[in-house]
Amino acid sequence: MILIVDSGSTKSDWLAVDNNGNRLMEKIRTKGLNPAILSEKKLSKTIKKSKELSENSNAVTHVFFYGAGCGTENPRMLLKEVLEEIFPNAEVSVNEDTLAAVYATINHPEEAAVVCIMGTGSNCSYYDGKTLHQRVNSLGYILMDDASGNYYGKQLIRDYYFNHMPENVKIAFGAKYNMDSDFIKYNLYKQPSPNAYLANFAEFMFLHKDSEYTVNLIKEGIRVFARNMILQYKEELKTVPVHFAGSIAFFAQEEIKAVAEEMGFTVGNFERRPIDGLVGFHTQDL
C-alpha cells in the first residue's frame, strides 16, 4: 500500500493506492499536519486518530508526504520520524508542499515554470524541469503568506474592527462569524493552528464578490504576493508561465489574471487540489 499525502495547515488529504495507482479506499482526511507549528505529540495523535490509517499501518510500503511547514530541515525531519514510527514498514519521503504543486500543475515532467501555492498559506518557487529553486525562505503566517487564506482572514478582521468595510459588508460579515473580541483573541493566542483559524474567514470574500470592496481586497493581496514572491523570478518570467495551486488561487482566477496583466507575467494552469495529480507521478516507476 502506498500513501500519498497533501497537507496544509488546515487539513491533510491521504490517498491509499496500489503499485498501479488504483485506489484501495476512499480518500482519508485528517487535520492539517504542519510540523513547523505542531509538536511531535500532536502530529502523532492527529494521524493515529484516523481509524483507516491505524488499521493499515503495517501494510504501508511507501509514504510520499507533501506539506506546509516542510520546507526547512528540522520540521521536515520531525515529521519524517513521526511517520516512520507510525508506519514501521514504509519508506518515508517528506517534501515541501510546493513540490506537490509543481508535479500537479506542470504540463509535462520537464516543463519549466514558476509555481505558486495559495491556500491556507502561500509560497512560490521556480522549477527548471528537474530541480526546485526557492529564493525566499518562508517565515510563516505572521511575517509572510501574502494572498493566502490566513492573510485574507487577517485583513478582513482588521477591516471589520477598523471600520474599513462598507456597512452592508460589515453587517454580513458580523452575521456569519463570531466577532466577539475575546473569542477572536482566544482562537488566535490560546488555541493551536491560529493560521487555520484565520483562513476560515477567507471564504467570505468569494461569497461576496458582488462587492467592489472584496474584489479590491483580493486583488491587492495578489499584488503584494506578486511583488514579494513571483517577481523574485523576473528573468525566468520572460519565458515560462506561472502555475497556481490551492483553493484561494482556484477561486481567485479572474483576479489573478487581471493582476498578471498589470504586472506582466503569464498565467498558466490552476489546480485546486494537487493530490490527484501525484498518483501517476509516484506509481509510474514502482
What pLDDT digit, counting tens, does each position of 75-109 carry? 999 999 999 999 999 999 999 888 888 988 998 88
Q: How confident is the model at residue 274 (pLDDT cuts 50, 70, 90)?
A: confident
Helix (H, G, I), strand (E, B) or coil at 283: helix
Question: What is the identity of the amino acid at 91?
Answer: E
90 located within any domain: yes
Q: How many domains does the chain have?
A: 1
Q: Which of 249, 120, 98 is nearest to 195 (CA)?
A: 120
d(CA 122, CA 164): 25
pLDDT attached to residue 275: 82
21 located within any domain: yes
Given a cut of 90, is residue 51 above it in pLDDT?
yes
- Where is pLDDT greater, at 228 or 120? 228
Percent of the chain with pLDDT over 70: 99
24 located within any domain: yes
Which three cell numbers mark 223?
A: 499584488
Residue showing cell 492573510? 151
Contact 257, 231 (CB under 8 A): no
The domain of 35 spans 2-100+274-283
Specify the CATH number for the domain of residue 59: 3.30.420.40
Cα–Cα distances in Å, from 190 out to 33, 102, 109, 151? 18, 35, 44, 19
Per-residue model confidence as pLDDT tens digits over 144-197: 999 999 999 999 999 999 999 999 999 999 999 999 999 999 999 999 889 999
74 located within any domain: yes
- Where is pLDDT greater, at 176 or 120? 176
Per-residue model confidence as pLDDT tens digits over 200-251: 999 999 999 999 999 999 999 999 999 999 999 999 999 999 999 999 999 9
d(CA 206, CA 252): 8
53 located within any domain: yes
Q: How confident is the model at residue 285 (pLDDT cuts 50, 70, 90)?
A: low
- Write the DSSP string, 147-164: TSHHHHHHHHHHHHHTT-
Range name among 85-89, 167-171, 273-277, 281-285 with the lowest pLDDT average: 281-285
pLDDT attached to residue 64: 95
71 located within any domain: yes
pLDDT attached to residue 122: 93
d(CA 10, CA 31): 6
87 located within any domain: yes
Contact 113, 233 (CB under 8 A): no
Q: How confident is the model at residue 284 (pLDDT cuts 50, 70, 90)?
A: low
Q: How wide is the angle at C-alpha 108 spanned by C-alphas 228 and 230, nearest 5°?
A: 5
pTM of the model: 0.80
72 located within any domain: yes
Mean pLDDT for the chain overall: 94
